[in-house]
Structure 1
Amino acid sequence: MANNYLSKECVTDFLKANREDFQQKLLSEAVNVRGKISDILEKGNIDLLKNAELVAHYIVENKEEELIAFAKVEGIAWAQHALTLAFKLEWVHAIRRTLWHFLYQYDEQFGEDESPRKTFFDLEKRINDNVDQFLNNFFISYSNYKDEQLMSQKKLVQNLSVPIIPIHSTIAVLPLIGMIDSYRVNALEEKVLMEIGSMRIQTLIIDLSGMADMELDVLFQFEKILSGINMMGCKAILTGLRVELVRKIVDSGIEFDSLVEIKGTLQQTLKEHL
């Protein structure tokens, strides 16, 4: 019995010979996914039924390298097309249940009346370990792709949120728009000091007229940025200070006077320097 039960060629042939029944059983196990088969194929060019058969064969044949490689490819594909992870999880568990169903059918058809206990548990461990291996590598691949995509988007946002605009060989304008939080002020510090050095900026005009608000802890960090600009040998000019922000600066006890020159508007400052 043991030779039949663990013979990968025979079990694979059995699955191939019963492909339609395998697919029907799989669809009956994946209640929520079966109605999305066509949508997933159309949206991500992912053939769930064909891929399920491939995964089942890799699992049965214990082809660990092929299984892991395919899981990684699948993870990237699902991440690229933003497909629902809940569907994938349900689908893989449906493959697990369907595979066990057909292994039972195979054993009932070709095995002895009673399966040796050790043979069964060895097979159970191998099949379930392989399914878990697929799931783990799928989710790691999916997560890594999303993390890389998120990091790329963060870098893009950083560049857009800290737009240093050169208006002269030694003069640049930095318009700050919207809310400045701790994450954005860190990006601001990194890019401003770097750009002052690389662009050889001698005067940086920081316009705050479009800025929504700045929390107290961010104000203290902003003071450090102004100090850093000063240490780089660059003159900082603040324009567009709004009443609310001025009050917050006064109440905080922070003094920008020694670090920056303060002007009323960006237009006024540009006239003076150009």
Structure 2
Amino acid sequence: MEVNTNSTDKLKKYFQINSEKFEETLLSEAINVRDKIDEILRIGNIDLVNNAHKLIGYIIEGLDQELLAFAKQEGIAWATHSIPLSFKLEWIHAIRRTLWDLIKNFDELTEKNIKEEFFRLEKQINTRVDVFLNAFFINYSTYKDTLITKQKELVENLSVPIIPINPSICILPLIGSMDSFRVEIIEEKVLSEIGKLRIDTLIMDLSGIADMEEDVIFGLMKIIDSISLMGCKVVITGFRKDLVKNITKLGIKFSPQTHTLGTLQQALHTYLLPGFAYSSLSSK
């Protein structure tokens, strides 16, 4: 049940008149946040004080749709800029306390005492603050999950940069550390791209990989065999000394369909040179 319109209008007007008092009390309540207001404005273009006034207006006037839309906007903004949630919690709870502090003064000053409507007012205001917080966190979490998923996909794509050279030849330059997780990503991405792009020859350059653990080496060999099974020629370039030693020590031998060259430049020269016969690789 809503507080009558007359009381709502009076309360709204009271807050407008006492906006400076509201800000002063709010900043005294939000001890940790007040020193971060300028930083949050700079990082996320989020005006905490102005938004507090906006939130109070939605709550007092019972503008529930606007309240939910505002919570969504705030949730996405805080998630986008990774602003600590502890600040948001402290700020909202400070707004709640400040709101009730001014309502107490309003109750003492108003011509018509609103004590008979207090419980209805309490339920409305606290419920709306909780609705805002709930919608804020739902939208924060949802958007944050979306960002994490997109970042993960970006990392996966960057970790397997398949570069087309012509319609049938692609390069896969591998750089940085290799672990089992990355090997799984490479396997999934490479086999998928071979089928989609109909790659005839994949040049896998390992010059950016210094060394690998045994399980990673076996995983990479599995990928190379899988590529060959899909009818794609595999050319490996850029083996470093330590990696060659480990592969030799493990007794791993490449299949006849897999060829090696010293450098990526040699592979590009070989495969992009007109009229060069693929079979001649076996004699190199």
Q: What is the Cα-based RMSD across aligned positions, in Å? A: 3.1
* Distance change >3 Å, CA 224–CA 128, structure 1 → 2: farther
Paired residues of 1:162 and 1:174 also in contact (CA < 8 A)? yes
Q: Give matches, 1:170-181, under 5 Å.
A: 170-181=168-179
Which residue identity lines up with residue 53 of structure 1 in the other structure? H
Paired residues of 2:210 and 2:240 also in contact (CA < 8 A)? no
Quote the residue 1:87 is aligned against.
87
Quote the residue 2:278 is aligned against.
none
Tell me if 1:230 matches 2:223.
no
Partner residue of 2:216 out of 209, 215, 218: 218
Which residue identity lines up with residue 148 of structure 2 in the other structure? L
* Distance change >3 Å, CA 170–CA 107, structure 1 → 2: same
Out of 84-93 and 14-23, give the one that drifted further: 84-93
Q: Deviations over 1:24-63 (max 9, x none)?
A: 1111111222233344334443332221112112223333
* Distance change >3 Å, CA 138–CA 238, structure 1 → 2: same
Q: TM-score under structure 1 normalisation?
A: 0.82
Tell me if 1:17 matches 2:24.
no
Quote the residue 2:61 is aligned against.
61
* Distance change >3 Å, CA 11–CA 202, structure 1 → 2: same
3-state DSSP of counterpart to 2:176: strand
Q: Give matches, 1:87-106, under 5 Å.
A: 87-106=87-106
Give the whole-Å Cα distance in 1 for the aligned partners of 2:120 and 2:247. 70
Give the whole-Å Cα distance in 2 for the aligned partners of 1:235 and 1:98. 71
Which residue identity lines up with residue 86 of structure 1 in the other structure? S
Partner residue of 2:205 out of 204, 207, 212: 207
Out of 7-16 and 215-224, give the one that drifted further: 215-224
Give the whole-Å Cα distance in 2 for the aligned partners of 1:255 and 1:7. 85
* Distance change >3 Å, CA 212–CA 7, structure 1 → 2: farther
Quote the residue 1:107 is aligned against.
107
* Distance change >3 Å, CA 62–CA 260, structure 1 → 2: same
Out of 27-36 and 201-210, give the one that drifted further: 27-36
Q: Deviations over 1:163-202 (max 9, x none)?
A: 2233344222211111123443233223212322333221
In the alignment, structure 1 segments of 5+ residues that lack a partner are: none
* Distance change >3 Å, CA 122–CA 258, structure 1 → 2: farther
Quote the residue 2:258 is aligned against.
260
Give the whole-Å Cα distance in 2 for the aligned partners of 1:163 and 1:216. 23
Which residue identity lines up with residue 226 of structure 1 in the other structure? I
Per the TM alignment, residue 15 of structure 1 is displaced from its structure 2 partner at its CA by 1.7
Give the whole-Å Cα distance in 1 for the aligned partners of 2:184 and 2:6. 59
Give the whole-Å Cα distance in 1 for the aligned partners of 2:139 and 2:20. 30
Identity over aligned residues, as a percent? Answer: 54
Q: TM-score under structure 2 normalisation?
A: 0.79
